Amino acid sequence: EQARYIKERQWAKEQKIKEQKDGSIILEIKTSGFWDVKKWVLSFGAEARVLKPEKLRKAVIEEMKAGLAGYS
């Protein structure tokens, strides 16, 4: 569902979409908007995963952990 949504739009001037055998996709973009991308990725919840850069990956993980901690 989300993969189709991502493929239908242009998200950045420079982007590459790689379709995977399991139906998922890898979206590669170049951007200077770290915080905007972090919030955008988080908006997909469990449907998205950051592979790199590691700084963004860690920031998304920490944000998700903080969100879960609020339900403990």
- Tell whether 17 and 42 lie within a shared domain: no
**What per-residue confidence (pLDDT) applies to 72?**
81
Residues (pLDDT < 70) of the chain are: none
- Tell whether 3 and 24 lie within a shared domain: yes
If one counts the domains in the chain, the total is 2
- Tell whether 15 and 38 lie within a shared domain: no
- Tell whether 45 and 70 lie within a shared domain: yes
- Tell whether 23 and 37 lie within a shared domain: no
Q: Which residues contact 50 (CB under 8 A, 6 or more apart)?
A: 41, 56, 57, 60
Q: Which range marks the domain in which residue 68 is found?
A: 31-72
- Tell whether 56 and 26 lie within a shared domain: no
**What per-residue confidence (pLDDT) applies to 42?**
96
- Tell whether 42 and 65 lie within a shared domain: yes
Backbone angles phi, psi at 68, to 5 degrees: -65, -35
